[in-house]
Amino acid sequence: MNTPSHHKFLIAAANSGAGKTTITLGLIKALRNRGKVVQPFKCGPDYIDTKLHTLAASKEAVNLDLYLSSTSHVQELFATYSEQVDVSVVEGVMGLFDGYDKMQGSAAQVSETIDCPIVLVVNAKAAAYSVAPLLYGFKNFYKGIKVVGAIFNFVGSESHYRFLKEACEDVGVVPLGYLPKREELVIPSRHLGLITDNDTELVSTIDTMAKVIEETVDLDALLELTANQTSTYTPKTNETSGALNILVAKDEAFNFMYVANIRALKQLGKVTYFSPLHDKELPADVDFIYLPGGYPELFAKELSENSTMHNSILKYVEAGGKLFAECGGMMYVSSHIETADGEWYPMVGIFNQEAKMKPMKLKLGYRYFTTSGGTEFKGHEFHYSHLESDLTSIVQQFGAKHQEVDTKLLRYKNALAGYTHLYWGEKANILDLFK
């Protein structure tokens, strides 16, 4: 269970673009600099922010999503990964009350679910005392949450902060400090979010964020305000592994995966990682292969040239081996990838279709479908590529508000592929896809 010294808080904002991620990363690193063990969490299905969190905390970030999973699952995840740490830091998604249906699935709902106080990030770029009604509204709009403090971003000066501080005090929200307007606090733009464990540029930026926060944010007040001595939820104990040999792609090109999904796979058997980029062939005695999303388009040439791996995967599938490929993984097992600059590269070729990056248009949203065997799966779609394909989907997928969407799930023998990032972290039922 949580120790008496455990602290927890959720970083939220009135809207996207207020600086939640910057302040979250800076706080994580600043607390680590104080010797605290910090566990990061992210509301929603986001992969990019969790990678940034992991880099700042040196601990894998965990997604908490109330569309993809149940209330009890989110509570269990939070309790399990908070058990042996000093501070649990949760970053919200979009604005505090923005969910897939009004506030359903929002950061506010996550906060209520895990009983976590909220620190509100406010963009103060063009405001002073007028933040008072904003703070008052967010504090009092919904009684199921507790907005306890505020950190202001894009603050021009100490005198500017005094107006903001007065606004906090007048509405009963603790002013915890601010971040000034500084170019060095901007997260570098890198390949649509490509992040590696040894990214020196990002590490340096996060270090700078922490140093500024240590100067302008009252960390002692934050810890005092968010101290929590009890936990009402039970961590999950380790379960006995099954007998399957499971292979998961993980390298520079394929690295978008939920911590809970991998944990669930370990319930089914032994998980081993491999690299479609660097390894020449699959190992023997594989029962299931998972090809997650990532950025295969950025490594298309290298992936294409590794033809021995293509042949090894094809041989495995033709022999009836089970494989699930999602988003970037699906692009890899298509016939070709066409990059944004028009270069054309042959891929594994399980499915006769082309994945194209041009024109780049974002497609995103929650998805769900039911298999022919009666199992419902939920997931999230987020990609800039598109397919040229005449292949027929084996299921009809729907959006969060039950509207039909044209996203396909393809099948060849026991190989399945689609754009939807599926979540099986709660039920460990990924193999039901093949029934």
Catalytic residues: 327
- What is the token pair recorded at 14? 């009135």
- Residue partners of 162: CB distance under 8 A and separation at least 6: none
Q: Among candidates 72, 47, 273, which has minimal Cα distance to 62?
A: 47
- What is the token pair recorded at 382? 């987020």
Is the Cβ–Cβ distance between 335 and 349 less than 8 Å?
yes
Q: Among candidates 213, 175, 194, 307, which has minimal Cα distance to 252?
A: 194
Q: How many other C-beta atoms lie within 10 A of the C-beta of residue 420? A: 27
- How long is the chain? 435
Only one residue has tokens 């990609």, namely 383
276 by Cβ neighbours in 10 Å (0-12 / 13-18 / 19+) ranks as buried
CA distances from 312 to 61, 117, 245, 350 (A): 33, 51, 16, 12
Angle at 226 between CA 118 and CA 69, to 5 degrees: 50
Question: What is the identity of the amino acid at 132?
Answer: A
β-strands 87-91, 7-13 pairing: parallel
